[in-house]
Structure 1
Amino acid sequence: MSAAPTRVPTSGTGVFSTGRAAIAARTLRTDRWWVPPAITVAGLAIFVGYATIRSFVRTAYWVPEYHYLTPFYSPCLSSSCVPGSSHFGHWFGALPSWIPLGFVVLPFLLGFRLTCYYYRKAYYRSVWFSPPACAVAEPHAKYTGETKLPLIIQNVHRYFFYAAFVVSIVNTYDAIMAFHGRDGGFGFGLGNIVLTVNVVLLWAYTLSCHSCRHIAGGRLKHFSAHPVRYWFWTQVSKLNTRHMALAWTTLGTLMLTDFYVMLVSSHTISDLRFVH
């Protein structure tokens, strides 16, 4: 396959620079290169749509019998929260309906995901088309990287990590509190498994973050002089190789956990109890 040459551009970067061959076709690839970007867009859109709706509906997010609380509403710190769902008290009064009850942490979690090194790759290629695929020219004539607004904001990822770390502790506390029986005392059901698996995977995703890896072993000149940090760095490095898989898995477990709590809270299904 061949393509007729076009006029050499007078400005631009990458494939549009003056030193590159001018090709009229966007790509000479004949395979379905657009499938992976399309799947990525669909996956991200499903999660964003679901999470947005569930964060605003303010229904079926708490199961009082077993103390199940969906992570989309944790921590619930407003007097608008249903009784029992505020594990850390009421820091705020009643909130208008246009403010999610989990508004304290949702911006930080969104910032952590948006600035994540893997998610940058995912939505840069699938949404921003920079580039959409190998050997496929991006539609942008210029690229300034992450040196100007808005992409320069990506550099604050390391600070969002600390917030995500704290939120993981909160989610762990919620999961522990959920081992609650109908009549008080210890209880154990299918919901506990769902909540616990979600928390474990959230910890794995958070600790596999590149920023966490740098905190563990960055700026060390001699690992031998810091055996504890070296050990932690090696463990985080192992997790880091699975960061992409954990990024997608936790999107799924977050929706699954919320969906399960919603079904039980709305009495659509009954929680399968092993210890009442």
Structure 2
Amino acid sequence: MATRPTGAKARAEISAKTLRTDRWWLAPLITAVGLFAWVAYATFRVFMQKWYWVDEYHYLTPFYSPCVSEGCEPAAAHFGRFIPDSPWIPYAALSLPFLLLFRLTCYYYRKAYYRAFWMSPPACAVPDGHKNYSGETRFPLIFQNLHRYAFYAAVIISIFNTYDAIMAMQKANGDFGFGLGNVILWVNVIMLWAYTASCHSCRHIIGGRLKHFSKHPVRYRAWTFVSKLNTRHMGLAWITLATLAITDFYIMALAAGWFSDLRFVG
């Protein structure tokens, strides 16, 4: 066993938990504030149960899609109304749980709220806020493994949102119409597809199990495209939170009569 030479100084004892002198706490703080603000707004809107549908232009907010409650406006219920109407049950109860599961189990969001809320760890070279660490092998974090299944549900819900955007180009009288609301809806749908396609599970499904890319040129090209999107997964995660909130707020404002839609055609 090596011993310290006679007369050598002992290693300095450092009481500080980290030697980082920068504002390492700023990033998790901003993340926590941003996520909390979005969740608060989304929760408020989901249970508001009004100002979600603009009948004149067939605008349906993504927070209420698909609208399957018996309390939904008949014209907004494209896929039927079969869930009991209750102030405690969201009108889009068929999709919201799966969307929540998809977002919560997303690899980027795990990093975001692990650092921002659970302090596990809050930043690089900063000690974990917990004494013991079991990873995602025990309850409740073991449910993070459901991400690959939530991805399939997210794809189906993105199809619903695309259908809503298409239907919104037909006015109540059946004529074609296009306005600022349509632009906002389509931007949101495109960003949602980009975020969904940039998912790590999507990348694995497309080419993760291939042993020879040369034998699967089509899947290789798709895998290459998704891999490029995957590098922007964090940015797309935040962009889609913004587009969802903007789309919902714009449709709510129109439905409430705060202002009129800017029309380009019809």
Common fold: TM-score over 0.5? yes
Contact (CA 8 Å) 1:115, 1:156: kept in 2 or not?
yes
Aligned counterpart in structure 2 of residue 84 of structure 1, from 75, 90, 100: 75
2:157 is matched by which residue type in structure 1? V
Q: For the residues of structure 2 that align with 1:24 and 1:155, how far apart are their CA atoms?
A: 38
Q: For the residues of structure 1 that align with 2:218 and 2:163, how far apart are their CA atoms?
A: 27
Q: Matched residues, percent identical? A: 65
Spell out the pairing of 1:80-119 with structure 2 (5 A cutoff). Answer: 80-92=71-83, 94-119=84-109
Q: CA RMSD in A?
A: 1.2
Q: For the residues of structure 1 that align with 2:219 and 2:180, how far apart are their CA atoms?
A: 37
Offset of 1:198 from its aligned partner?
A: 0.1
**Residues 1:68 and 2:59 aligned together:** yes
Offset of 1:33 from its aligned partner?
A: 1.1
Contact (CA 8 Å) 1:181, 1:275: kept in 2 or not?
no
Render the CA deviation track for 1:80-128: whole Å, top value 9, x for unaligned: 1023110112233x32111111111100000000000011111111111
- Which is worse superposed, 94-103 or 207-216? 94-103
Render the CA deviation track for 1:208-231: whole Å, top value 9, x for unaligned: 000000000011110111111111
Q: For the residues of structure 2 that align with 1:32 and 1:78, how far apart are their CA atoms?
A: 47
Say if 1:198 and 1:117 are closer, same or farther in 2 by CA, change over 3 A.
same
Structure 1 equivalent of residue 166 of structure 2: 176
Contact (CA 8 Å) 2:58, 2:172: kept in 1 or not?
no
Q: For the residues of structure 2 that align with 1:211 and 1:104, how far apart are their CA atoms?
A: 22
Q: For the residues of structure 1 that align with 2:38 and 2:153, how far apart are their CA atoms?
A: 21
Contact (CA 8 Å) 1:209, 1:243: kept in 2 or not?
yes
Q: For the residues of structure 1 that align with 2:247 and 2:117, how far apart are their CA atoms?
A: 27
- Residue 274 of structure 1 aligns to a residue whose secondary structure is strand
- Which is worse superposed, 138-147 or 246-255? 138-147
Offset of 1:139 from its aligned partner?
A: 1.9
Q: For the residues of structure 2 that align with 1:182 and 1:91, how far apart are their CA atoms?
A: 24
Say if 1:58 and 1:238 are closer, same or farther in 2 by CA, change over 3 A.
same
Unaligned runs of at least 5 residues, structure 2: 1-11
Offset of 1:23 from its aligned partner?
A: 4.6
TM-score (ref. length: structure 1): 0.90
Structure 1 equivalent of residue 226 of structure 2: 236
How many corresponding residue pairs? 255
